[in-house]
Amino acid sequence: MLDTIAQLSKSYSRWPDQSEAVKQWQDKGKKVFGYMCNHIPEELLFAGGILPVKFLGDSIPIVDANQYHALFMCYFARTVVEMGLQKGFSKLDGLIGVYSCEGGCNIFQIAAEIVKPPYYQFISIPHDNKREKQEMALEYFTKELNVIKTSLEEYLGEELTAAKIEQAINVYNENRQLLRQVYDARGDKEWPGFTGVEVAEIMNWVVEVPKDEANAKLRGLLAETAARKLPAASGPRIHVSGTLFLDNEIFQLIEDLGGMVVSDDLCMGSRYFWDDIKLPAEKTADKLIEAIARYKLDKVPCSCMCSSYVAEDRLEHIKKLIEKYQVNGVIFAVHKWCDSHQMDRPFMIRQLQEAGLPVLSIEVERNIGDAQGRNRIESFLEMIGGDAHVAG
């Protein structure tokens, strides 16, 4: 792994109470909030000088949390409750949740009841928000975001002005552009700038640190890797579909076995940053918040959404990435107990197979399951062909 990326890894922790980035931010007298799902309006928090840190979960045993939630929840969500019980969120000033998926909805609220942070908000997002429902869903969700704005202003004792919100949107949009450049660099067939493992680590880091600082570091990283000459991968080029992982095991396995992860549609991947917020002509706070709401509803959908053609829209995104990054095979790595993704998976697999793509579907619980996962991925890569390793 590139030294610069290894250094970035030291600046955050999956446990917010141990994160250097959290400590540095709070040392400046500023607040840090935790969140779980991409549907949270990070820009509004950042506009108020709050550092939003995403819950990454961790590959830990569940010890006490089973007394609080059913076992039928994805392991990621369960580790969030466990971390809450083990004081992992004790330094957070606030928690902000959203009803995206059904498991996450319950789990986040339980975590909040355990942690009892000084600030706590939870909002609803319309899941059926396209086509004939688009305008009414937008109006409703804009009002939900305004609830957040008002409560943040009360909490902070200061107004979230249009200028602050616009500035935050610009920082976040720049971050999205830089991450797309990182993806393009990784996807370069001839001279890949990053390995899949490195990009996975960049994604972990970027959701835990202030975006303005992240942007400066990403610019440096892109300049550094422009001159880097990674050998081109001759093994299969893989797209990974799913949500997020509790460690980088799957990326490491694929690349150790001779493949290369060149694309994904993960929550902690392209679905986090693929689209930009379109700034409105009129830069009032109301219009800017509406623009954030529109972005959240229009972006590449998570499987928890229920709009018409929602799996079809997600599939379009995957197909575009497959073409752009010249993918040879797709691995669905879906968490056990994740209803939303499990529901869409058979349709998406059928469609990809009909388009001629080899597809492997594996179930993730705490992790991939070393020996079994390794065997299945190895067989899949062999089936596709190629045996070269990606150096890095």
Q: Is 355 in the site for other proteins (CB under 8 A)?
A: no
Give residues with Cβ within 8 angstroms of 260, minimum separation 6.
Answer: 192, 195, 196, 233, 235, 236, 237, 238, 254, 390
Residues 231-270 contacting other proteins, CB under 8 A: none
Chain centroid to CA 342: 18
Q: Is 134 in the site for other proteins (CB under 8 A)?
A: no
Instruction: Tell me which stretch binds other proteins (CB under 8 A): 31-39, 193-201, 342-350, 368-376.
Output: 342-350
Residue 72: CB minimum distance to other proteins, A: 4
How far is CA 220 from each of CA 4, 8, 216, rounded to the nearest angstrom?
A: 9, 12, 6
Q: Is 339 in the site for other proteins (CB under 8 A)?
A: yes
Which residue in 340, 352, 358, 381 binds other proteins (CB under 8 A)? 340
Q: Which residues pair with 124 in a beta bridge?
A: 99
Q: Is 345 in the site for other proteins (CB under 8 A)?
A: yes
Tokens of 267: 């929550």
- At 31 the three-state DSSP class reads coil
Instruction: Tell me which stretch binds other proteins (CB under 8 A): 203-211, 236-244, 274-282, 331-339.
Output: 331-339
How far is CA 15 from each of CA 31, 60, 82, 111, 212, rounded to the nearest angstrom?
A: 16, 11, 11, 14, 22
Q: Is 110 in the site for other proteins (CB under 8 A)?
A: yes
d(CA 364, CA 373): 9
- Residues 44-83 vs other proteins: string with x where CB under 8 A? ----------------------xxxxx-xx----------
Instruction: Tell me which stretch binds other proteins (CB under 8 A): 34-42, 159-167, 186-194, 309-317.
Output: 309-317
What's the alpha-carbon Rg for the chain, to the nearest Å?
20
Instruction: Tell me which stretch binds other proteins (CB under 8 A): 107-115, 186-194, 198-206, 277-285.
Output: 107-115
d(CA 380, CA 392): 22
Which residue is it, tokens 């081109």? 232
Which residue in 36, 105, 202, 364 binds other proteins (CB under 8 A)? 105
What residues line the site for other proteins (CB under 8 A)? 66-70, 72-73, 99, 101-103, 105-107, 109-110, 112-113, 120-124, 126-128, 132-133, 136-137, 139-140, 143-144, 147, 304, 306-311, 336-337, 339-340, 342-347, 349-350, 361
